[in-house]
């Protein structure tokens, strides 16, 4: 595997021992390479701009600037970089804020090494790593923080969707897998995947997580 084919990773955590541990884990993988480290959000943004990593492994609680603010800045400045949030609790509101800021998913800090490695590869491939039902549970926990849809003007991007694509978006927001959506709507799973790709493209969203948040914010779920 050449240098360019490896998944470049930026480690962001204010604990040096944590960064060392992650570095050893990823360094043992032939398809991964740690290209930089940062101990706070400001340094993370600077390093991301300079190194343009495929994946940023981001802690949320850090000095100077937290991981949520840093995530938003990195996603805006380096759109090819995918951010994976690390959090202590699976229903941590920091994790939700990180997803809204543009992260492609979140993992618990005590996740098994195999799960972390799988998540890195999944995010690097352009998918989200938060399971649909976990995303729904997270959103329901912090639903009171979402803007009320009553009296609000729906996002004009919704008009770009066909009725079938809107159905797919609603099903995704309800936490259903592609297999479940296919059964509900009497479609093949490949057709569901194709429709959902069109949904993401028309709405300008990056992955399933952002689609769920968009649907909730626009009162579709």
Domain count of the chain? 2
The verdict on 202 and 114 lying in the same domain is: no
- The model's confidence at residue 20, banded by pLDDT at 50, 70 and 90, is very high
| 135 lies in some domain | no
The verdict on 96 and 195 lying in the same domain is: no
**pLDDT on residue 214:** 84
**pLDDT on residue 217:** 80
The verdict on 16 and 102 lying in the same domain is: yes
Centre a 10 Å sphere on the Cβ of residue 157 and count the other Cβ atoms it contains. 13
Q: Cα–Cα distance between 54 and 36 in angstroms, integer?
A: 12
Per DSSP, the three-state class of 221 is coil
Residue 1 has pLDDT above 60, yes or no: no
164: enclosing H helix or E strand: helix 163-173
Give 96-154 pLDDT, tens digit per residue.
777 778 888 888 778 888 888 988 998 888 776 665 556 666 666 655 555 554 545 56
Average pLDDT over residues 54-83: 90
- CATH code, 176: 1.10.10.10
Q: Cα–Cα distance between 75 and 48 in angstroms, integer?
A: 10
| 90 lies in some domain | yes
- CATH code, 34: 3.40.50.2300
Give the domain range for residue 102: 3-130
Average pLDDT over residues 41-55: 95
Determine contact, residues 62/40, Cβ cutoff 8 Å: yes
**Global pTM value:** 0.72
The verdict on 110 and 182 lying in the same domain is: no
Residue 178 has pLDDT above 60, yes or no: yes
| 140 lies in some domain | no
């Amino acid at each position: 595997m050449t240098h360019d084919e490896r998944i470049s990773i930026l480690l962001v955590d204010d604990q040096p021992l944590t960064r060392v541990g992650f570095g050893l884990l990823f360094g043992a993988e032939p398809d991964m390479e740690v290209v930089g480290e940062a101990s706070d959000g400001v340094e993370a943004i600077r390093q991301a701009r300079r190194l343009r990593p495929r994946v940023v492994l981001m802690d949320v609680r850090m000095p100077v600037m937290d991981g949520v603010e840093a995530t938003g800045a990195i996603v805006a400045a380096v759109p090819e970089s995918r951010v994976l949030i690390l959090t202590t609790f699976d229903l941590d509101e920091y994790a939700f804020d990180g997803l809204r800021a543009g992260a492609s998913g979140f993992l618990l800090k005590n996740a098994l090494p195999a799960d972390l490695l799988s998540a890195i590869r999944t995010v690097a491939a352009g998918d989200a790593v938060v399971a649909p039902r976990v995303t729904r549970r997270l959103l329901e926990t912090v639903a009171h923080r979402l803007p009320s849809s009553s009296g609000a003007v729906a996002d004009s991007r919704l008009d770009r969707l066909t009725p079938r694509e809107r159905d797919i978006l609603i099903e995704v927001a309800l936490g259903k897998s592609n297999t479940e959506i296919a059964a509900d709507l009497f479609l093949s799973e490949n057709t569901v995947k194709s429709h959902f790709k069109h949904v993401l493209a028309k709405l300008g969203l990056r992955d399933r997580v952002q689609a769920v948040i968009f649907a909730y914010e626009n009162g579709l779920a």
